[in-house]
Amino acid sequence: MIIRQESVNSNMALKDLPGTSPLPSANLVLVFGSVKRFTEGKLQSFLKARYPTAQLVGCTTSGEISPAGVFDDSIQITAIQWEKTIQRVAQTKMSGMQNSFEAAAGLAKQLKAEALRTILVISDGLNVNGSELLKGFQSVLGDVPIVGGLAGDGGAFVKTLQLFNDTISDNQVIAVGLYGNALITSSGALGGWKPYGPPRKVTRSEKNVVFEMDSKPALPLYRMYIGEAFSRGLPGTGLKFPLAVIEEGKREVEKIRTLLAVDNKNNSLTFAGNVEEGETVRLCQTNHDRLVEGAGNAANLVMDGLGASKTNQAGLAVCVSCVGRKGVMAENVGDEVKLVQQILGPQTSVTGFYSYGELAPRPHTTDSVLHNQTMTIGYLSENLLA
C-alpha cells in the first residue's frame, strides 16, 4: 500500500500544487473539502489529469482532517495505490431520505463477493437516514464491516456534495468495496459524552423522529433539560445536547443521536439516525478533555483490533468525527486528531472530515452502526506476505 497526500489550504489554489502528481498510478483518491472549494469548478478535471487511473471519491465537510491538523475551506487529497488488494466502487443517486435502505441494498448487491473484507461509504449528509442506509447494506452483506460517514456543509445544514469521478452533486451514496486476504482492517469508535438527567423511555417514535418520551411530548421535555437560553437557538444548539441510547448491561455509551430538527407543531425531535420505540435514552453533555480522551480511546480500539496484525507497514486512518464535537472544542479541535496520530504511530497517514453522521462497527464487533457525536476511525493497511 502506497499513500501520498496533498493539501490545498484556504489561501491556495489547485494550480499552486506542484506540477507533477506524487502518485500518478494511484487506484483510489479520497478528496475532502468545503462546499466553496467543491463548487469552484475544474476540481474533477484537475484530479483526473493528476491521477488518471484512479477512482475519485469524496465529499464536502464541516472541517477537513489532515496530518497537519483540522482545516476549513481546504481540499485534502489522499492518493492510494493498492499492491495486493482489489477494489470495486459503486455509486447511486437517491431520490430522498425514504430511499436510503433501497439505495444501499442496490449498492451492496453490486459489491457482494466472497472475498469482500470491508466497505468505505461516503454519503449525502442531509437527505439520508444513516440507520436505514446501514440496514440496506447489511440486508445483503451481513456483518461485513462498514466505515465512513455522511457529508457536511460547514454546519449550514443546507446542501452537501459528493464527488464520484467526473460528477459532483448532492444525494449520492458512494461505496468502495475492498477485497482479499492481504487487506488489514480495524476500527474504533468512541465519543466521550457523559449522560445526565434521568433515563427516559421512548414511548412513541417513527424511525428517526421522536414524538414522546415517558408518554410526554418530546420537544417540551427536551427544552426543559437544556434550559431557556439554549432552547432559543434550536436546532443548532442541539449539537451540544445529543441523546445517548442506553443499552442494557453496558457501561459505555456506544450509540449517540444528534438533533437535526425540531417540529413545534408536533412537539417532535428529528435525529440523524433512528431512535426506536422502547429504547432508553438520556441527554448528554461534554467538555474538551472528555472528547479528546474519547478520540484517543477510539485509536486504542484500532490498535487492539489489529492484534497480531500490528505492523510497521504504511497504513491509512480514515477519521470521521462529528460537527458537534468540533463546535465544543472550537479552536482546539485539532487536539483530538493529534492524539489519534500519536497512538497510531508515524507509519499511519491520517485523513477524514467532520460530518453529519459517522459509520463504524461497535467496539470489539463487526456490527456497523450509525454514530453521532463520535470519533470513528477506519484503519486500512496491507500484509504484503499474504
Q: Other CB atoms closer than 10 Å to residue 135's CB: what's the count?
A: 17
pLDDT, residue 252, reads 61
Query: For 9-38, what is each residue's pLDDT tens digit?
Result: 999 999 999 999 999 999 999 999 999 999
pLDDT, residue 254, reads 62
Grid cell digits, residue 228 = 431557556
Q: Which residues of the chain have pLDDT under 50?
A: none
Q: Is 366 exposed, middle or buried (0-12, 13-18, 19+ CB in 10 A)?
A: middle
| Spatial separation of the C-alpha atoms in residues 182 and 372, rounded to whole Å | 31
Instruction: Pick the last residue of a domain from 232, 263, 285.
Output: 285
| Spatial separation of the C-alpha atoms in residues 380 and 185, rounded to whole Å | 5
Residues 217 and 172 placed together within one structural domain of the fold: no
247 phi and psi angles, rounded to 5 deg: -95, 135
Tell me the pTM: 0.89
Residues 226 and 294 placed together within one structural domain of the fold: no
| Spatial separation of the C-alpha atoms in residues 133 and 127, rounded to whole Å | 11
207 phi and psi angles, rounded to 5 deg: 55, -110
Query: For 79-116, what is each residue's pLDDT tens digit?
Result: 999 999 999 999 999 988 889 999 999 999 999 999 99
Residues 42 and 89 placed together within one structural domain of the fold: yes
The whole domain housing 163 covers 2-190+289-382
- Yes or no: say if 173 and 104 are a contact pair by the CB < 8 Å rule: yes
Please provide the distance, in angstroms rounded to a whole number, between the alpha carbons at the two ends of the chain: 13
**Strand, helix or coil at 171?**
coil
Grid cell digits, residue 245 = 441510547
Structural Rg of the chain based on CA atoms: 20
Residues 125 and 240 placed together within one structural domain of the fold: no
CA 12 to chain CA centroid, Å, is 26
Residue type, 289: D
Residues 45 and 122 placed together within one structural domain of the fold: yes
Query: For 335-363, what is each residue's pLDDT tens digit?
Result: 999 999 999 999 999 999 999 999 999 88
CA 129 to chain CA centroid, Å, is 13
Instruction: Pick the last residue of a domain from 259, 285, 311.
Output: 285
Residues 153 and 18 placed together within one structural domain of the fold: yes
Residues 69 and 157 placed together within one structural domain of the fold: yes
Instruction: Pick the last residue of a domain from 233, 267, 285.
Output: 285
Give the total number of structural domains in the chain.
Answer: 2
Residues 95 and 42 placed together within one structural domain of the fold: yes
Residues 359 and 265 placed together within one structural domain of the fold: no
Residues 186 and 329 placed together within one structural domain of the fold: yes
Q: Hunting for cell 482545516 — which residue is that?
A: 71
Residues 241 and 96 placed together within one structural domain of the fold: no
Residues 112 and 54 placed together within one structural domain of the fold: yes
| Strand intervals (E) in 85-161 | 86-93, 116-123, 146-150
| Spatial separation of the C-alpha atoms in residues 200 and 280, rounded to whole Å | 6
Query: SS3 helix, strand, coil % of the chain, rounded to 5?
Result: 25, 40, 35
pLDDT, residue 235, reads 85
| Spatial separation of the C-alpha atoms in residues 220 and 268, rounded to whole Å | 9
Beta bridge partner(s), residue 130: none
- The 8-class DSSP code of residue 162 comes to E
- The 8-class DSSP code of residue 362 comes to P
pLDDT, residue 386, reads 60
